[in-house]
C-alpha cells in the first residue's frame, strides 16, 4: 500500500479495484475493499497498524469493490443502488467464483456473508469523520 499524503494510502497493484484508506482524527475511512479475501486480510492488518476503522465507502456495485467488506467490522456507506445490487447477488455463486482467485481463498470464503451498505444515499451525501469531510455524489452512467 502506497502512502500518497500524510493521511491517504492507496493500493493499485492488486487484482480488482484500486482501494485505499484515509486516516482522520477520529479513525479511518476505507474507500472500497479488496476483491480477494487474502488481500482483505492483509489490508485489515495494515489499517490496524494505523488506527480504528470507522467506515467503509463503496464507490460502485461491482464485486471487486465490495467483496472484501465482509472481512471488516465497520458500517458501509454507498449509493442505494450499490446496496440493492449487493443484496440481489447470488452469494453462493459469487463466493464460488472468488474462491478460484487463489489457493487460500476458499477457506476464507466459508460461510461468506456480504457486508452490504447500511448507510445509503440517493443523490449525494456529506460525511464528517474527525477532521475530514467526505463528499459522495451519485454519478449515473
**Residue 15 confidence class, pLDDT cut points 50, 70, 90:** confident
Q: Please state the domain extents for the chain.
A: 2-137
97 CB-near residues (< 8 Å, 6+ apart): none
pLDDT tens-digit series, residues 16-38: 999 999 999 999 999 999 999 99
Q: Tell which residue, 25, 39, 29, has the closest CA to residue 8.
A: 29
Residue 6 has pLDDT above 90, yes or no: yes
Q: Tell which residue, 85, 50, 42, has the closest CA to residue 66.
A: 85
Percent of the chain past pLDDT 70, that is, above it, reads 100
* pTM assigned to the model: 0.96
CA distance 83 to 121: 10
For domain 2-137, say whether CATH 1.10.8.640 is its number.
Answer: no
Look at residue 107 in the predicted model and tell me its pLDDT.
98
Q: Are 82 and 58 in contact (CB under 8 A)?
A: yes
Residue 132 has pLDDT above 80, yes or no: yes
DSSP state of 100: G
CA distance 43 to 19: 10
pLDDT tens-digit series, residues 57-96: 999 999 999 999 999 999 999 999 999 999 999 999 999 9
25 CB-near residues (< 8 Å, 6+ apart): 130, 131, 132
**Residue 141 confidence class, pLDDT cut points 50, 70, 90:** confident
**Residue 116 confidence class, pLDDT cut points 50, 70, 90:** very high
CA distance 141 to 139: 7
- Strand ranges for 1-141 from DSSP E: 2-5, 8-11, 19-24, 27-31, 53-57, 76-79, 119-121, 124-129, 132-137
Amino acid at each position: 500500500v502506497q502512502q500518497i499524503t500524510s493521511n491517504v494510502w492507496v493500493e493499485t497493484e492488486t487484482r480488482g479495484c484500486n482501494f485505499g484508506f484515509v486516516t482522520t482524527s477520529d479513525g479511518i475511512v476505507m474507500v472500497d475493499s479488496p476483491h480477494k479475501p487474502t488481500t482483505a486480510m492483509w489490508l485489515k492488518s495494515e489499517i490496524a497498524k494505523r488506527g480504528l476503522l470507522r467506515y467503509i465507502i463503496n464507490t460502485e456495485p461491482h464485486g471487486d469493490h465490495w467483496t472484501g467488506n465482509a472481512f471488516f467490522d465497520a458500517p458501509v456507506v454507498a449509493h442505494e443502488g450499490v446496496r440493492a445490487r449487493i443484496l440481489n447477488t447470488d452469494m453462493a455463486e459469487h463466493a464460488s467464483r472468488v474462491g478460484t482467485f487463489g489457493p487460500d481463498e476458499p477457506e476464507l470464503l466459508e460461510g461468506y456473508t456480504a457486508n452490504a451498505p447500511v448507510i445509503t444515499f440517493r443523490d449525494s451525501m456529506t460525511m464528517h469523520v474527525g477532521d475530514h469531510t467526505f463528499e459522495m455524489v451519485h454519478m449515473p452512467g
